[in-house]
Amino acid sequence: MANRRPSSAEELADRCRAAGLVLERPVTPQDLDRTLAALRAWEQVVDACDERERAELVNRMLAAAAAYPRLTDHAGDGWHLHYRAERQPLGSVLLSLISVGTALHLAGRGMHRLRRCAVTGCAVIFADTSRTGRQRYCSQRCANRDAVRRHRARAGCAVGEPA
């Protein structure tokens, strides 16, 4: 959602449903505003200079979304944990999901495993889920594009010329 932000409450609702989120109440423009604010805060986490700053920013998000964990079977599809109070508006639900999910990813996989693509001109954000923790690119396409650029730079070719 951070790489292609929703532009309306309807689009936000559609994308949440497509991701499997159960919407318990109508989605409002205020939900969109709260979601966009959560994504801006999350982008600061991505762009943090070091682990301590990243942890502090995630902790602020967690504090803003805090509620004690609770077991729920609200959709009748099995018991699971929620890290939020019941019957929250979607913007608050997404803040909780983003902040808790980010904290679990960083604590479980490593504080460095959230970043932007290494290709100049590509600002896509991704979570590094690679086995080694060294993923630099958002996609194979960007990895190939950068490999071609490096090859051409070594070979002394101008961009657009055959190698």
Given a contact cutoff of 8 angstroms between Cβ atoms, the answer to whether 53 and 62 are in contact is: no
Q: Could you give the C-alpha distances from 93 to 121, 143, 158, in angstroms and in order? A: 32, 34, 49
% pLDDT > 70, the chain: 96
**Tokens 């991505």 belong to residue:** 46
| Secondary structure class of 127 (helix, strand, coil) | strand
User: Mean per-residue pLDDT for 10-23?
Assistant: 94
Averaged pLDDT of the chain: 91
pLDDT tens, 63-109? 998 777 889 888 788 998 887 777 889 999 999 999 999 999 999 99
Distance (Å, whole) CA 70 – CA 106: 22
Q: What is the pTM of this model?
A: 0.83
- Are 46 and 116 a contacting pair, CB within 8 Å? yes
| C-beta separation of 111 from 54 below 8 A | yes
pLDDT digits (tens, 9 = 90+) for 61-73: 999 987 778 898 8
